[in-house]
Amino acid sequence: MKSLWIAVICFGLLACQGNTQDKVEMKSQMDTISYSIGVDIGKNLKAQSIEINPAVLVKGVNDGFTGEKTLLSDQAMQDAMSRFQQDLMARQREEAKELGEKQKVEGSTFLEANKKKEGVKTTASGLQYKILKVGTGPKPTVTQQVTVNYRGTLVDGTEFDNSYKRGKPETFSVSGIIKGWTEALQLMPVGSKWELYIPPDLGYGESGAGGAIPPNAVLILEVELLSIK
């Protein structure tokens, strides 16, 4: 939340420059950085649906910066900010809950249909997978490390991670990842390439993961097991 208000203050300082934004020229590296920060701040405010009164915000920035007598007492401003933060957090929780319910329904529908498709197998835990390439090497244990290439998407096709695009496979502990992936790796011989369909309870569950993976999301991972360490 602190970063939000830093962003708002920066926005106000930029706004203090007046209505000259259309005339701005990039004459130095600092101009480029300043503009880039401004664009980022604007996008963040929009993404969080923060509604502000630019004129009043600029007045507050000016009064705080110049030391002018403020229109509100410190206590009044602190109370207002506290209420706003509480309202914002409550709204974000409600939005996350609604998104989670939507993902839960869509994910359940997807998994129910997917398990009937040719080549798709389902384990006792509910993990679904399809073998794209059969490997002939050993299978890793939960205590080992593996090197893999992978691509992760949501059921709507939205990509959230891709080691192929980074041009470098990833190495990690079999036990240090989400449950569905841990289970699948122990079934895969080295050289295999599988497509995994991971239910929320074997993935990131109700919490999701940052902004990329929403609550209750089914994950689709295309995984290529390259080696065991």
Neighbours of 28 (CB within 10 A): 9
Tell me how many degrees the CA angle 17-19-24 measures, rounded to the nearest 5.
Answer: 75
Query: What pTM was computed for the model?
Result: 0.66
Q: Measured at the alpha carbon of residue 126, what is the angle toward residues 124 and 131, in degrees to the nearest 5? A: 90
pLDDT digits (tens, 9 = 90+) for 199-223: 999 999 988 887 789 899 999 999 9
Measured distance CA(153)–CA(197) in Å, rounded: 10
Q: With contact defined as beta carbons under 8 Å apart, do 86 and 178 qualify?
A: no
pLDDT band at 20 (very low <50, low <70, confident <90, very high): very low
Tens digit of pLDDT for each residue in 86-140?
A: 888 888 777 777 777 888 899 899 999 999 999 999 999 999 999 999 999 999 9
Q: Are 206 and 103 in contact (CB under 8 A)?
A: no
Residue 15 has pLDDT above 70, yes or no: no
* Helix spans in the chain (H): 2-15, 29-47, 54-66, 74-114, 163-166, 179-185
Q: Where are the domains of the chain?
A: 2-71, 118-228
Q: Which CATH number fits domain 118-228: 3.40.1160.10, 3.90.1150.10, 3.10.50.40, 3.30.70.3450?
A: 3.10.50.40
